[in-house]
Amino acid sequence: MPPAEAVFDGIAVFVMHGIFWWMRLAHEGGNAGAMGAWLSMWNFGGAVDCESVGIRNVGVDMIRWFPTWCAVLFFPVMGWALEESDLQGFIDEAIKAGGGEVVVPPGEYVIKKGLKLVDGKGIRLAGMDKERTVLRWEGEEGGWLISVTGGASEKVSIGKLTLEGGNGVLIDGGKGAEVRDCLFQLGKGDGVLLKSGEGAVVESCSFRDIAGVGIKVAVVAKGAVVQGNWLTRCGTGIGVPEKSDALVLSNELVDAAAGVKAMEK
């Protein structure tokens, strides 16, 4: 007779397998109402209004409630490969809802237009696993993988993602944007540009093999904090204007052509 732990694990896998297949059938058949009733009955993820937010958000919400290994196991098997338009759709829905968390499952995502967070409030865009959640740029030269823009933007957070190619994250406007625990390996581009806004934070990120500037702070970006980052093999590690009020501390720079450089603007 198998041990109790093995029996429990078998039942759990069977139940989760059924859940994900039900989600797939609901997704393909557009049966959002039935899906919402089923989720409400079991109280997964709190109140989920599938008819108003769309079945795609249920998929993202369910990812948050199951262990990482479960999402890694079931999503590739079920063919749920997210496109750039899917990710942008989740972001737009979260902004429209007034806030929320968009969790990106592990995988490599080709980005050609850039993910745009415009006038978002209380939005968090994060990978489930930094090393295995990769956004790779294949768009026009000079584009940004992620842009946080708009004067009404407030407390937007980017985290646990690997960004490859192009330029990394642009912060242009708003208050309290954060970029934390991300890996930037971009080649020709820049890592993070704090172009404008107030109180932006870049913390605990890694930058490597960047021909441009790892972290660049513009003179009109007020109260920025650049702290605890690791930068190696960058053209310029951190660029800060002489008149900037940015706080730059506890960053480690290795093998950079220029470490912390005073820039004109």
Region of 90 (left: φ > 0; alpha: ψ -120 to 50; beta: rest) is alpha
Supply the pLDDT for residue 187.
81
Cα torsion 150, 151, 152, 157: sign: positive
Checking if the pLDDT of 175 tops 50, the result is yes
What is the average pLDDT across 210-224? 94
Side chain identity at 54, as an amino acid letter? G
Side chain identity at 165, as an amino acid letter? G
Supply the pLDDT for residue 18.
55
Checking if the pLDDT of 161 tops 70, the result is yes
CA distance linking residue 75 with residue 73, whole number of Å: 6
CA distance linking residue 90 with residue 244, whole number of Å: 35
Checking if the pLDDT of 213 tops 80, the result is yes
**Least confident range of 73-82, 130-139, 158-167, 203-212:** 73-82
CA distance linking residue 241 with residue 260, whole number of Å: 10
What would the two tokens of residue 254 be? 């290795």
What would the two tokens of residue 101 be? 């968390």
CA distance linking residue 194 with residue 173, whole number of Å: 9
Assign 3-state DSSP to the chain and report helix, strand, coil percentages, each to 5. 30, 40, 30
pTM value is 0.73
Supply the pLDDT for residue 264.
62
Identify the bridge partners of residue 201 per DSSP, sorted by sequence position.
178, 225
What would the two tokens of residue 159 be? 């985290």
Q: In the chain, what percentage of residues exceed pLDDT 90?
A: 60
Work out the pLDDT band at 19, boundaries 50, 70, 90. low
In contact, 92 and 60? CB cutoff 8 Å: no
- Kindly give, in sequence order, each residue whose CB lies less than 8 Å from that of residue 13, ignoring residues fewer than 6 positions away: none
Element (H, E) at 178: strand 178-180
Measuring CA to CA, how many Å separate 262 from each of 47, 115, 201, 242? Answer: 50, 30, 19, 6
Coil, strand or helix at 58? helix
Domains of the chain: 1-80 (no CATH), 82-265 (2.160.20.10)
Mean pLDDT of the chain: 78
pLDDT in tens, 224-258: 999 999 999 999 999 999 888 999 999 999 988 88
Sheet of 225-227, strand order: 100-104, 123-127, 157-159, 178-180, 201-203, 225-227, 247-249
Identify the bridge partners of residue 121 per DSSP, sorted by sequence position.
154
In contact, 166 and 190? CB cutoff 8 Å: no
pLDDT in tens, 23-43: 444 444 443 333 333 333 333
